[in-house]
Structure 1
């Protein structure tokens, strides 16, 4: 799981049938709270996140299985909007 901040939106009027109705956001990983640091990436949002929100994202094949539907071609899914983060000293290094 990755913690990051939503920094933008992507609009695509033409896309695969399984992606119709899904919202795409650009996420920048937070190097202070995520083990994995890297470049920005696109994640599907179904919970109402927006620019400036800190979010939890799952990546990989798990993200492509939304509900009981067949797998769709995505590799990142926003699974939570973070209200606060508390890290004790010596916990996460950045």
Structure 2
């Protein structure tokens, strides 16, 4: 599981039938800044994820990746590798809030 920021939407008009109607997003993973530990910084990677919770651009989300992405009731039969499993309200590191929605 990791923290990521939603950076955009993906539209695919041609896809396998089981994916019809599922919202796709691009996300960029974030991590705690190793030097200052008082902020989140991007990792420079991008993932496409399935969103069943209604996240939007610039939201921070929790992502589950790998076979675990298919363990939610909504994604059990989908050919996916990453899914939004939570919308982040606050990130607290060592007693300091580094993100608040």
**Residue of 64, 67, 79 corresponding to 2:85:** 79
Distance (whole Å) between structure 2 residues aligned to residue 28 and residue 49 of structure 1? 14
The structure in which a higher percent of residues are strand is 2
- Is residue 6–residue 58 contact of structure 2 (8 Å, CA) maintained in 1? yes
Distance (whole Å) between structure 2 residues aligned to residue 87 and residue 66 of structure 1? 28
TM-score norm. by structure 2 comes to 0.76
Distance (whole Å) between structure 1 residues aligned to residue 47 and residue 75 of structure 2? 24
Distance (whole Å) between structure 2 residues aligned to residue 78 and residue 50 of structure 1? 11
Match for residue 48 of structure 1? 54
Flag structure 2 segments of 5+ consecutive residues without an equivalent: 34-39, 96-101
Flag structure 1 segments of 5+ consecutive residues without an equivalent: 90-94
Runs of 4+ residues over 4 Å off in structure 1: none
**Is it true that 1:57 corresponds to 2:63 in the alignment?**
yes
Q: What is the aligned residue count? A: 87
CA RMSD of aligned residues (A): 2.2
